[in-house]
């Protein structure tokens, strides 16, 4: 009976440790989700604050630059 009590106590301790670790993992996942949501919200806010007229148009490289790149690639 004495060994059985020790085994039961050890099993209970292991169970409590495992449950504690799972709870910590659950809380950290929830914390990460909250951080992701706030980061996404901040990105959306920063994008809505930028007006399209303020953005610079994307300039395409000139044809001469393409020809230089092609000649380099050939060699």
* HEC string for the chain: CHHHHHHHHHHHHHHHHHHHHHHHHHHHHHHHHHHHHHHHHHHHHHHHHCCHHHCCCCCCCCHHHHHHHHHHHHC
18-63 tens-digit pLDDT: 999 999 998 888 888 888 888 888 888 787 765 555 555 666 655 5
What is the Cα–Cα distance from 28 to 17, expressed in whole angstroms?
Answer: 17
Indicate yes or no: pTM above 0.85.
Answer: no
């Amino acid at each position: 009976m004495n060994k059985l009590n020790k085994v039961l106590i050890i099993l209970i301790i292991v169970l409590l440790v495992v449950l504690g670790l799972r709870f910590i993992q659950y809380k950290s996942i929830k914390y990460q989700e909250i951080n992701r949501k706030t980061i996404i919200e901040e990105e959306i806010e920063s994008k809505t604050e930028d007006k399209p007229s303020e953005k610079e148009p994307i300039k395409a490289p000139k044809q001469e630059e393409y020809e230089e790149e092609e000649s380099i690639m050939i060699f």
